[in-house]
């Protein structure tokens, strides 16, 4: 409650024969436990004689009557209140029911005001002074009224407080003004708080969908709307982004529709100023053509169309509607206009973000493989996670390349940088590396050519990369690493460990760099895991710790295929990436590639080995001999290993030395069948080497000191059969060996 300052009474007067001032007030307080200021019974109503000495003077009565002022007289010692008829009307008293005591009067006051009034009256009595107050009373009907009073304490002949006389007047209008001012102050504070909360929520909205959600959930203070709608303007068409209070059927005709020039939304956008419509009649009068298209079932009766203007350009419109007629005041219109400005800025920022994100996502989709090829004998799974901040595009990539002979190449790489430039370089490098691999070049040559290609681009960028060629028939992996992370192999028992691979410089650093190949084998059910450094690096965590955590995520149990509808490899990929997805401030993107070697169908290895041997690639010949040995062991013809290895090496070396093109090596094992379809137990190995040279081999008779010329002699002596066959371009040399199972 608002109260006036407590007035200070005049100095107490003490007649010569007066007793001590400290005794008189205390005795009065004991006789009057409640000290009021206004609920009084008129003397006339009680039949009391009118006072003469203290009555209102005749000359003052007209002025008091004209101003609605009543007078009162309180006998402090007897605790009896008296007053004129105006005082009773102002206080809402019923003289017949009011007992004229101060306690009864205080009981009628507002609980917050009674203690204040008591203190002021007590002080006035103690000081023989005057006091005044503003207080609220509750009329018998429950109405709240306000009263102002001012009174003075009079002393008797001995200087003791005897009576209080004064005036009262109605202050209910002032009460309403104060209440209204308080309500307006609270509403202004609520609106200010709303603007702050709306600005905060809209600033946190990242996408257009977020802006639409925040807008349609805003609780407008003081004027709760019945409908909210947000629409953007694209090429003269409205696109509904979000709505509340409207059914989908009611807004569907306006979605993607041309903006009608006669519609109030069009006027708001055209003039860059809000349009407020207070009633349906006003809508019909101002916009008759637009009103004709409104459904009769539309419950709205007032509208506010707020243009969304950002950087001087209209980008959309907000609609705020009400079910009742509403003439918005200046403060409400200012609030809505401010809200429209906040939404416009947030929507413009969100549209730019969505456009950048769509550009980045589209570019990334083009750069990365659309699908991973399905290759018999292996199962693959891939994942790509964009960075948690920035343009969400980078130079990380993966690829799965089908190779000649049914083999498969795995590529994982990361171009330096995290921007569109890095993504463009990544796309070029991925295509080049894929082309080199698909041509059948060995891993070391693929990596060397890719490094030279990146250096020739002259972009001042480098790239880390791991390329692995997997022999699908036998589970043999040939890996080459250029400044990248080592691959991790998950064993069949669930354990996992990195495989050390001989490393070289990142691609593009030294165009003449030669890369070494590391060979390792997989058993059926084992998985090769390749990833980029975004999965193992994080702020506040070193590389070793991150790589150890990555290996821990790779190992562990997985549900069996019968326990889950998803392939365990997909579940493993999700588990690995989930730990990286927890880092919302991840600064680098992530590429992940997994390949599980399922083993040959039926548990038996395929009966064919096919490899391309690059020109002058002598290291490839050594690798081929190892693969042939593994193949023959798996095929169950171990007795042919030594002879087949020697003769194959001779044919391949002869093709490489005497031609200037690559050679294609093929080994097949045939099992002869009996008439009833069963196997006879005889196996026949046929080895072929094709080249594009028209120069046929010539059998020579070298001397004892000759260093060459014995290849065909060995083939003729050790093979069960051999020959040379012409092809369209070049020739095919072959030999056959037989074995008994």
pLDDT given for residue 600 in this prediction: 64
CB-CB neighbours of 80 under 10 Å: 19
Binned at pLDDT 50, 70 and 90, residue 702 comes out as low
Rounded to an integer, the average pLDDT of 183-192 is 76
Chain centre distance of CA 61: 76
Average pLDDT, the chain: 80
Binned at pLDDT 50, 70 and 90, residue 37 comes out as very low
Q: Is 677 left (phi over 0), alpha (psi -120 to 50) or beta?
A: left
Distance of alpha carbon 473 from alpha carbon 466, whole angstroms: 22
Q: Is 317 helix (H, G, I), strand (E, B) or coil?
A: strand
Rounded to an integer, the average pLDDT of 564-589 is 76
Query: Which residue do the tokens 């702050």 mark?
Result: 196
pLDDT given for residue 79 in this prediction: 87
Binned at pLDDT 50, 70 and 90, residue 562 comes out as low
pLDDT at 280 > cutoff 60: yes
Q: For residue 358, how many C-alpha atoms fall within 13 Å in the half-sphere facing its CB?
A: 8
Contact 557, 509 (CB under 8 A): no
Query: Which residue do the tokens 């080459």 mark?
Result: 480
Structural domains in the chain plus CATH codes:
23-170 (3.30.450.20), 187-359 (3.30.450.40), 372-602 (3.60.40.10), 607-740 (3.30.565.10)
Instruction: Supply 652's token pair.
Output: 């391949």
pLDDT at 193 > cutoff 60: yes
Instruction: Supply 292's token pair.
Output: 């004709």
Rounded to an integer, the average pLDDT of 250-273 is 88
Binned at pLDDT 50, 70 and 90, residue 343 comes out as very high
pLDDT at 639 > cutoff 50: yes
Rounded to an integer, the average pLDDT of 550-555 is 89
SS3 of the chain: helix, strand, coil, percent, to 5: 35, 25, 35
- Tens digits of residue pLDDT in 90-145: 877 776 666 777 887 887 788 888 888 888 889 999 999 999 887 888 776 667 78
Q: What percent of the chain has pLDDT over 70?
A: 82
pLDDT at 321 > cutoff 80: yes
pTM of the entire predicted model: 0.53
Rounded to an integer, the average pLDDT of 597-606 is 62
Distances, alpha carbon 166 to alpha carbons 53, 87, 116, 135, 554, in Å: 14, 10, 18, 15, 92
pLDDT given for residue 346 in this prediction: 92
């Amino acid at each position: 409650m608002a109260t006036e300052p407590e007035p200070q009474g005049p100095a107490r007067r003490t007649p010569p024969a007066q007793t001590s001032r400290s005794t008189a007030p205390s005795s009065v307080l004991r006789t009057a436990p409640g000290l009021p200021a206004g609920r009084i019974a008129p003397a006339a109503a009680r039949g009391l004689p009118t006072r003469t000495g203290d009555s209102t003077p005749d000359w003052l009565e007209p002025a008091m009557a004209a101003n609605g002022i009543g007078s009162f007289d309180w006998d402090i010692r007897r605790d009896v209140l008296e007053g004129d008829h105006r005082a009773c009307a102002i206080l809402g008293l019923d003289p017949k029911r009011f007992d004229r005591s101060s306690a009864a009067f205080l009981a009628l006051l507002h609980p917050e005001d009674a203690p204040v009034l008591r203190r002021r009256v007590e002080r006035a009595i103690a000081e023989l002074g005057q006091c005044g107050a503003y207080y609220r009373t509750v009329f018998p009907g429950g109405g709240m009224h306000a009263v102002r009073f001012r009174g003075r304490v009079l002393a008797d002949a001995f200087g003791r407080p005897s009576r209080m006389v004064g005036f009262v007047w109605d202050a209910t209008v002032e009460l309403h003004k104060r209440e209204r001012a308080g309500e307006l102050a609270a509403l202004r504070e609520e609106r200010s708080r709303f603007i702050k909360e709306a600005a905060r929520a809209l600033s946190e909205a990242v996408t257009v969908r977020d802006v639409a959600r925040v807008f349609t959930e805003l609780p407008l203070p003081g004027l709760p709307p019945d409908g909210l709608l947000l629409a953007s303007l694209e090429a003269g068409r409205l696109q509904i982004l979000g709505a509340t209070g409207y059914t989908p059927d009611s807004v569907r005709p306006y979605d993607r529709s041309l903006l009608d020039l006669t519609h109030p939304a069009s006027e708001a956008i055209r003039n860059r100023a809000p349009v407020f419509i207070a009633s349906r009649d006003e809508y019909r009068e101002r916009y008759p053509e637009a009103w004709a298209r409104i459904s009769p079932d539309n419950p709205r009766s007032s509208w506010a169309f707020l243009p969304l203007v950002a950087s001087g350009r209209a980008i959309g419109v907000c609609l705020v509607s009400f079910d009742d007629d509403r003439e918005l005041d200046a403060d409400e219109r200012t609030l809505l206009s401010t809200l429209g400005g906040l939404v416009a800025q947030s929507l413009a920022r969100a549209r730019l973000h969505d456009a950048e994100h769509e550009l980045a996502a589209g570019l990334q989709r083009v750069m990365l493989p659309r699908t991973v090829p399905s290759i018999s004998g292996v199962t693959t799974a891939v994942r790509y996670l964009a960075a948690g901040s920035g343009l969400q595009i980078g130079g990380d990539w993966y690829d799965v390349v089908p190779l000649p002979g049914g083999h498969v190449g795995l590529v994982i790489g990361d171009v330096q940088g995290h921007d569109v430039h890095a993504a463009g370089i990544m796309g070029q490098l991925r295509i080049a590396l894929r082309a080199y691999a698909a041509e059948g070049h060995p891993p070391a040559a693929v990596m060397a050519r890719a490094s030279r290609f990146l250096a020739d681009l002259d972009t001042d960028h480098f790239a880390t990369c791991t390329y692995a060629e997997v022999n699908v028939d036998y589970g043999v992996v040939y890996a080459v690493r250029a400044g990248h992370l080592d691959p991790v192999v998950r064993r069949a028992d669930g354990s996992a460990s990195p495989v050390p691979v001989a490393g070289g410089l990142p691609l593009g650093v030294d165009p003449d760099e030669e890369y070494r190949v590391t060979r390792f084998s997989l058993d059926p059910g084992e998985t090769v895991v390749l990833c980029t450094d975004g999965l193992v690096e994080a702020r506040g965590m070193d590389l070793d710790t991150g790589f150890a955590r990555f290996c821990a995520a790779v190992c562990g149990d997985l549900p069996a295929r019968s326990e889950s509808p998803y392939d365990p490899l997909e579940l493993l990929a999700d588990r690995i990436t989930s730990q990286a997805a927890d880092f919302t401030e991840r600064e680098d993107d992530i590429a992940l590639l997994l390949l599980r070697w399922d083993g040959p169908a039926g548990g038996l290895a395929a009966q064919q080995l096919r490899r391309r041997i690059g020109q002058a690639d002598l290291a490839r010949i050594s690798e081929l001999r190892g693969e042939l040995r593994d193949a023959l062991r798996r095929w169950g013809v171990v007795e042919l290993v030594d002879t087949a290895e020697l003769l194959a090496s001779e044919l391949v070396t002869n093709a490489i030395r005497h031609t200037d093109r690559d050679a294609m090596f093929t080994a097949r094992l045939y099992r002869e069948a009996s008439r009833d379809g069963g196997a006879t137990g005889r196996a026949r190995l046929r080895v072929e080497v094709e080249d594009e040279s028209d120069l046929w081999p010539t059998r020579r008779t070298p001397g004892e000191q000759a260093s060459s010329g014995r290849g065909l002699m060995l083939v003729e002596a050790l093979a069960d059969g051999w020959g040379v066959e012409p092809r369209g371009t070049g020739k095919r040399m072959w030999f056959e060996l037989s074995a008994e199972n």
